[in-house]
Structure 1
Amino acid sequence: MTRSDSRLAVYTGSFDPLTLGHMNVIRRAARLVDTLVVGIGVNAEKKSLFTPEERVELVGRVTHSLGNVVVKAFSNLAVEFVRECGSRVMVRGVRPLTDLAGEFTMMMANKHLDPAIETVFLMADEEFAHVSSTLIKQITPLANDEMLGRFVPPELIPALRAKLAKR
């Protein structure tokens, strides 16, 4: 298969930290395409816990077994990043229906910025509908590792605890 024939999609987000809901979307999206780029972006509205470089390393650590997933950081608009990756497909993960309003607004803005890029929404599986990075930051100081492992990949728990202990 040539590069122009390959199916390449880009899943963008801040992933700060990566949750099991994110991993659910990554695994499912990776099954649909030849290559999935996980784009680690900066959300100016949120105070980041991990640096973009740390997030690239952490997401890479838990996705390395998926042979067709590549993790990269970006600091420009998501549609520009998708275009730079050579893709025309942006994957967005959505949890409860309340996410859809904001995602729809973003999709329409992206369509105006680059009409050639299509946005594909993947609903997180029901068991992850309530999991968010904000929730993880709130419960980490109070939850034990077994409890946290219900929300984040277990490999990330030590880094999450270490980062929150420094705050």
Structure 2
Amino acid sequence: MKVIYPGSFDPVTYGHLDIIKRCSEKFDDVIIGVLNNVSKKGLFTVEERMNLLKETTSQFKNVEISSFSGLLADFAKDKKCSTMIRGLRAVSDYEYEMQMALVNKKLDPEIETLFMVSRSEYVYLSSSIVKEIALHNGNISSFVPEIVEKEMKNKIRGDF
């Protein structure tokens, strides 16, 4: 079975990587769909996020990194995949993710969304929190892999 795990991954965190690892163990093929949201300015470009994901997921041979803009339903159709994985950290995530799952189902009745509950050690973790800590020169080493931490520091210092 093939699944898509979509998101912005700006930056990829240990929480994301845990979901990816668990998906790679349960499914034949995992497509990481990196959203190019043109209405949002991210810390990293889509290409940079894809490169960081490729580097941090290289041990998973059944993981493919791809980008998309527009509708997830269209991306899924292009990838010939109708199963989405979404990570849930808290009840607030569930409400939003349920809404998105229902919209995707309405756009394409073949789409199924499977929810994967975050491990307790990652329940509080989000890319936004990691960026906020990094912007204030806080220690993010327990939230992201070393390469991501290094690239974030370079971005924030302006050494790109």
Q: What interval of TM-score do these two structures reach, taking the shorter chain for normalisation?
A: over 0.9
Q: What secondary structure, in the 3-state scheme, does the structure 2 residue paired with 1:134 have?
A: helix
Residue 52 (str. 1) matches residue 46 (str. 2): yes
Give the aligned partner of residue 163 of structure 1.
Answer: 155
Structure 1 residues 39-48 or 155-164, which shifts more? 39-48
Residue 100 (str. 1) matches residue 102 (str. 2): no
* Residue identity opposite 1:143 in structure 2: G
Residue 22 (str. 1) matches residue 22 (str. 2): no
Q: Note closer, same or farther for the CA distance 1:129–1:44 as it changes in structure 2 (3 Å cut).
A: farther
Residue 122 (str. 1) matches residue 101 (str. 2): no
Question: What are the residue-to-residue correspondences of 1:146-161 with 2, within 5 Å?
Answer: 148-161=140-153
1:46 shift after superposition: 4.0
Q: What secondary structure, in the 3-state scheme, does the structure 2 residue paired with 1:99 have?
A: helix
* Residue identity opposite 1:110 in structure 2: N
1:40 shift after superposition: 0.2
* Residue identity opposite 1:127 in structure 2: E
Find the aligned partners of 1:82 and 1:164 in 2 and give their Cα distance: 34
Runs (4+) off by over 4 Å: none
Q: Give the % identical residues.
A: 35
* Residue identity opposite 2:145 in structure 1: P
* Residue identity opposite 1:71 in structure 2: I
Question: What are the residue-to-residue correspondences of 1:72-111 with 2, within 5 Å?
Answer: 72-111=66-105
Task: Provide the TM-score with structure 2 as the length reference.
Answer: 0.93
Structure 1 unmatched ranges of 5 or more: 1-6
Aligned length: 158
Residue 61 (str. 1) matches residue 55 (str. 2): yes
Q: What secondary structure, in the 3-state scheme, does the structure 2 residue paired with 1:40 have?
A: strand
CA RMSD of aligned residues (A): 1.4
Structure 2 unmatched ranges of 5 or more: none
1:84 shift after superposition: 1.0
Give the aligned partner of residue 142 of structure 1.
Answer: 137
Find the aligned partners of 2:44 and 2:25 in 1 and give their Cα distance: 28
Q: Note closer, same or farther for the CA distance 1:129–1:46 as it changes in structure 2 (3 Å cut).
A: farther
1:45 shift after superposition: 6.0
1:92 shift after superposition: 0.8
